[in-house]
Each structure stands twice: as structure tokens, then as C-alpha cells.
Amino acid sequence: MPLHKQVAFFLFFNHYNRDIKLKGVSNTIQCMAQECEVRAPEDFVLSHVPKPTLRERYQQFMFKDHVKSHPQLRFCPGPNCQWIFRAWVREGPRRVECHGCELLTCFSCGAPHHAPTDCATIRRWLTKCADDSETANYISAHTKDCPKCQICIEKNGGCNHMQCGACRHDFCWVCLGDWKAHGSEYYECSRYKEDPNLANDSQHAQAREALKKYLHYYERWENHARSLKLEEQTLANLKSRINQKVMAGEGTWIDWQYLWDSAKLLKRCRYTLQYTYPFAYYMEVGPRKELFEYQQAQLEAEIENLSWKVERAETTDRGDLENQMDIAEKRRTTLLKDFLDINVASSSSKV
């Protein structure tokens, strides 16, 4: 920087001292000479900052600005988390998991990880949910009547396979159909059936059908979100039970690790399944959507089987549970492989 510009900068530096303290200005400090666009380098600024606390604050801001402007670096958005992500540049949603707080994040947009839905679509979906959430929440209640004996039932677990405590009827929480009717090959209630005559209907009928379609997907989206919260408690309970068994001398953590792994896998699979519904909502009708819904249905069926067994993990045969874990994970990875490139190299490190 020329000498006359250094003098101009020095004369106005008290103004920038205030900005560093209050606004976090760092790499935007510019020479105050008229029509000069030269920005002050870090070593020059530090040479004019006498206070150690202010120097440290300035360097912190410089570091944060560097991370924010770097195309391969991101701060973990977790509360009070000091970790930084690094990912190789690639288009589309990029999954990164913080090694500190274990938060799953999309590197591209900073939102919670949302594969297979892309960043633009998930923004549209969340905006729509915010606009229409009161209508959807009214219809999607937390309690439902048993379809056989009509007794009121509250959902207190993540599994959608419900059994009435009064009449022992097994049914699906989502569609209220007989659980046996779902079968093992196709989870029918996850698929929305388009009206083939919709284009010929009145505007009022089309609006009603559009709301019906949205509520179909929203209810399933919200149901899996609630199941994830309920399964967090299952995870905590399993961890507590494993600790009790270890303290009682009934094996080591390694012996019971599979219980913990099953609950973690269930959480990962259900999380992916939740985000398949915005993806399906915006897909065009056609063979590709039919393939996606078929794989979505397969995944949902295996997740419900896994959820049922995880909630009864201590009485479930270990081999049976691990076999179900393998099936569910293969369904999940197959769906993502067919509809999203998930092979993204990434790492995280602490600040």
C-alpha cells in the first residue's frame, strides 16, 4: 500500500477500531483515500491494533470470514458447535456429519440433510408446509380411533404397526387399514393415487384434489418426523438398558452393541424415508415416479419391520434383528443410489 494511502488509513483507523468491536469488520477494511479500493492486509491492520484483546478479536473475524468465503468449508450449524466441515465441490445435496455434535447437514445449503430431495425442492416444500401447516396439523391428529372397536388410541412409539389394546386388532397408523393387507411386497398406503380425470374437472375440484394430494404427503412427512422423536427415546432407553446389563455383569458393551446399532440404523433409515415424501410430491407422473414409489414402499415396509423389532429388541432373536437391519439398509442405499449420487467425500475438524 503506498505511503500516502497508509497515512489516510491511519487517520481513520479509530473509526474501524469501533467497527471491529461492534460489527465484526475484518477483511472489508478499505483504504480511506479517495477513490482507493485497496483493502488493508491482515498484517498491516494488526500493526495498528495495540490492544491484545482487539487483535485476537480481529483475527477471529478474519478466520470466520475465510471459512465463510471458502467454497469447500462450512461451519457446523449445531448450537455452540466449534467444528468445521470440508467437502469436495459437487452439485446437489451433500451429506456431512459433524464429528462433534453428530448433526447431519447438507453442505450445499446448510439445512438439515435432505437426500434424496434437492436443495431447491426442500426449500419449496418447507415454505409450503409453513404456509399450510395449520390445515395439515388439524387433519393429522396425534390420536386416532381403532378401525375395529373405535376406541381412541394415542401413538407412543415410532412404529406404524399398531395393535389395539382393547380388541388386539393390528392396523396401520397412517391409513388405518388392516396391517396384514399391506403385505411384504408393497406398502400401498405410501403411494398417492392421481385422479386420471383431474384435467377435466372444475377449478374447485382441482383445488380440492391439490389439497388432498398435499395432505397425503404432509401427513406421512410429519408422521415420520414424530416417529423420529419417539425413537430418540427408544435409543436413550436402549443405552440405559445396556449400561444396566454391563453393570450387572451380563456381558460387555461389545456384546450388546448390536442393540445400539439397530436403533441408530433405524433412525438413519427413517430420516431418509421422511425426506422421500417431498421428493415424491414434486415428481412428474410417469415410469420414474412409479419406480421411486415402489422403492419407497419397499423401504417403508422394511423400516416398519425393523422398528417393531427394535422396540422389542431384548426379546427379539439377534440373528433375526441383524438380518432385518441388513435388509433395511440395503433398501435405503438402493433408493439413494438410483435417485441420488451419495458418494461425496467429506471431513470435519474442530476449530
Residues labelled catalytic: 159
- CA 307 to CA 141: how far, in whole Å? 21
Separation between Cα atoms, residue 111 and residue 218, nearest integer Å: 19
**Quick one: 35 exposed, middle or buried, by C-beta within 10 A (0-12, 13-18, 19+)?**
exposed
The answer to whether the beta carbons of residues 158 and 313 sit under 8 Å apart is: no
- Cell numbers placing 174: 397412517
How many CA atoms lie less than 13 Å away from 320 in the CB half-sphere? 12
Closest C-alpha to 180, from 167, 170, 191: 170
Helices (H) and strands (E) counted in the chain, each on its own, are 11, 9
For cell 401447516, the residue is: 133
Look up residue 198 and give its three cell numbers: 383431474
Instruction: Please report, for residues 179, 180, 318, the alpha-carbon distance to residue 305 in angstroms, rounded to integers and kept in the order given.
Output: 11, 12, 14
- Please, are residues 158 and 230 in contact by the beta-carbon 8 Å criterion? yes
How many angstroms separate the CA atoms of 187 and 298, rounded?
6
Residue type present at position 30: Q
Three-state DSSP class for residue 27: coil
